[in-house]
């Protein structure tokens, strides 16, 4: 099993293989479709994004409220295709890793090829286990979205698999 720390550089992603198990550590951001829509609206208005997207990882998750003594509640992945219409614009700005479940459409895969990005799959149904990998959680924007607000997470040994590489190779074919 390989370890990967985010944010990343292109050279960090190139040696990874399809289906390879990764333990992800560092900073990741949660964002689902409502937050993606707001991010793209900011881009279209020429405004700055609320976090540095260059080399960043976005986790498609809307965490549950945190139980006592935990920074976050269960935080499983959501279905990624719901973000597909917004993803190419974020990839063009430097997004390097997306984490979710399910395959991506051809447009996203082409944009991943163009931008050297990676799609990682997190295990659906393991939300309570994944929350143990989250060491801190802070809402950084769009608090009005509740569970879909963008959160900055610090994670350690967050388990994922390489689902789609920048060359278009994927576990979904």
User: Which residues are catalytically annotated?
Assistant: 36
d(CA 101, CA 119): 9
Cβ atoms of 164 and 118 within 8 Å: the answer is yes
């Amino acid at each position: 099993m390989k370890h990967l720390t985010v944010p990343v550089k292109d050279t960090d992603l190139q040696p990874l293989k399809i289906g390879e198990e990764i333990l992800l550590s560092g900073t990741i951001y949660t964002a689902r479709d409502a937050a993606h829509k707001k991010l793209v609206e900011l881009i279209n208005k020429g405004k700055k994004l609320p976090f540095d997207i260059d080399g960043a990882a976005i986790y498609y998750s809307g965490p549950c409220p945190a139980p006592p003594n935990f920074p976050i509640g269960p935080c499983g992945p959501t279905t990624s295709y719901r973000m597909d219409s917004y993803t190419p614009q974020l990839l063009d700005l430097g997004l390097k890793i997306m984490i979710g479940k399910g395959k991506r459409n051809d447009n996203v895969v082409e944009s991943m090829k163009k931008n050297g990005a990676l799609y990682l799959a997190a295990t659906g149904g393991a939300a309570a286990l994944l929350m143990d990998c989250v060491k801190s959680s802070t809402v950084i924007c769009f608090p009005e979205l509740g569970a879909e607000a963008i959160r900055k997470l610090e994670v350690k040994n967050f388990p994922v698999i390489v689902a789609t590489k920048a060359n278009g190779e994927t576990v979904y074919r």
